Amino acid sequence: EAQVTQNPRYLITVTGKKLTVTCSQNMNHEYMSWYRQDPGLGLRQIYYSMNVEVTDKGDVPEGYKVSRKEKRNFPLILESPSPNQTSLYFCASSWAGTGPYEQYFGPGTRLTVT
C-alpha cells in the first residue's frame, strides 16, 4: 500500500531533550516536506526537500533540523525542544512527475513538550 508513515504518532517529552520524528514513504517520491499544524494557524511548512541531500527552509524552520540521506526517509530533529514546539506535525511527499504540490500526507505526530 502506498503510504507515508510517521513515528511516533504521539510523544510527550520535556524541554531540552533531543528527539527525532521519523518519516518514510514507499512511493519513490522526490519531494518531501514537514509541516506543523496549530489551531487558528493552519499548516505551516517547516522544511522541504526536493531530493536526496537537497533541503531548504520553509516558513517556520527555527528550532528544527532535517536530513535527506535516502530518498524514502526525511527525519525531523528537534535538538532542544521547547514548549512552543508543542504541535501536530505532518510529513508529506510528492512525485516530481505530477508536480511537487499534489502531496501525500502522513497520519501526523502529536508532540507535547512540557
Partner 1 sequence: GENVGLHLPTLSVQEGDNSIINCAYSNSASDYFIWYKQESGKGPQFIIDIRSNMDKRQGQRVTVLLNKTVKHLSLQIAATQPGDSAVYFCATPTGQGNTGKLIFGQGTTLQVKP
Whose Cβ is closer to partner 1: residue 9's or residue 17's? 9
Residues of the shown chain interacting with partner 1 in the complex, contacts defined by CB under 8 A: 4, 31-33, 35, 40-45, 48-50, 56, 58-59, 90, 92, 94, 96, 99-108
Whose Cβ is closer to partner 1: residue 38's or residue 82's? 38
- Smallest distance, partner 1 to C-beta of residue 44, A: 7
- Smallest distance, partner 1 to C-beta of residue 14, A: 26
- 3-state SS of the chain is CCCEEEECCEEEECCCCCEEEEEEECCCCCEEEEEEEECCCEEEEEEEEEECCEEEECCCCCCCEECCCCCCECCEEECCCCHHHCEEEEEEEECHHHCCCCCEECCCEEEEEC
Whose Cβ is closer to partner 1: residue 15's or residue 51's? 51
